[in-house]
Amino acid sequence: MPELPEVETMRRGLLPIVGCVISKVEYPDIPYRPIVIEPSREDLVRRCQGQSIQSVDRIAKRVLIRLGNRDSIVMQPKMAGIAMLSDPPSQQHTRVVFQLRGNKNIPQFLYWDRRGLGTVSLWTPEQVLAKLGPDVLGPDASIVEESVFVARFRESKKEIKVAMLDQSIVAGIGNLYAAEILFAAKVHPQARCGDVSTAKWKRVHAETIRILQEAIEKEGSTLSDGTYRNAINGEGSYQNLHQVYDREGQPCKRCSNVKITRIVQAQRSTFFCPKCQKPS
């Protein structure tokens, strides 16, 4: 968390900065360990100040601010980061502030991170390709074609839930949405990719597209810790539609008489319904 829907919501929220010029880059003095910034704080300031913002894009779970000099500011939220315009949840966790000119209504954008695990990088086009290109990341999970989706997962020998977190197969799905997708498709999370039938793979693909697109429309999921917010510090609402995630011990919303179970796969919690998602 944040996953594809939350990061796409960040991207859309930052679109008003397109056409503005970065006038200043600031690093607030805060009492927490600094986040990773590359190549260095000084280089980022030197290469960003005075540059116009050409576009705001997303690759997998990263936001990219494309600049006039062809560099890209790449913000990776990881566990608890947010790329936003204003009103951060707390001032003491604001990591980088980009002051702007060109639109009096949009004076800045910033990167906020409560846990300090995210990163802010400045990459050339060649670096973006090397680190986020098709040799590293699979196709975007929200738009990938069915035939490509099925073929790429069929090659994996992993359990399906674990494979869905592998960004080299398909990019953008994280722990929360993988659980929700598999529940919707009625597939057991421990099924091996090679043992899943073509019909089930088609269901998984269809539910992947449906759930990710619906979550984007709902501006993502704000969980009980309240960390994730949109670009103007508002909550997402897709959490109200969660069927299994973080619902261990609660009745299944589909079959009602079986409780949601939690297991651990690849050091991550997986939630599922033992009745609705029976092993093959």
Q: For the chain, what is the mean pLDDT?
A: 95
> In the annotation, is 218 catalytic?
no
> In the annotation, is 101 catalytic?
no
Apex CA 109: angle with CA 108 and CA 112, to 5°?
135
Residue 229: per-residue pLDDT: 80
Q: Which residue has the tokens 């651990």?
A: 264
The token pair at 102 is 């060109």
Percent of all residues in the chain with a pLDDT value above 70, rounded to a whole number: 100
Residue 270: per-residue pLDDT: 97
pLDDT 10s digits, 45-81: 999 999 999 999 999 999 999 999 999 999 999 989 9
Q: Structure pTM?
A: 0.95
Check if CATH label 1.10.357.10 holds for domain 146-272: no
Specify the 3-state DSSP secondary structure of 155.
coil
Q: Which residue, among 265, 242, 7, has the nearest Cα to 140 in the 3D structure?
A: 7
User: What fold is seen in the domain 4-132?
Assistant: N-terminal domain of MutM-like DNA repair proteins (3.20.190)
Are residues 108 and 94 in contact, defined by beta-carbon separation less than 8 angstroms? no
> In the annotation, is 251 catalytic?
no
Q: Where are the domains of the chain?
A: 4-132, 146-272
Specify the 3-state DSSP secondary structure of 123.
strand
Residue 78: per-residue pLDDT: 93
Residues linked to residue 59 through DSSP beta bridges, in sequence order: 62
**Of residues 11, 47, 58, 61, which has the active-site annotation?**
61
Residue 1 has pLDDT above 80, yes or no: no
> In the annotation, is 274 catalytic?
no
Cβ neighbours, 10 Å, residue 97: 18
Residue 226 has pLDDT above 90, yes or no: no
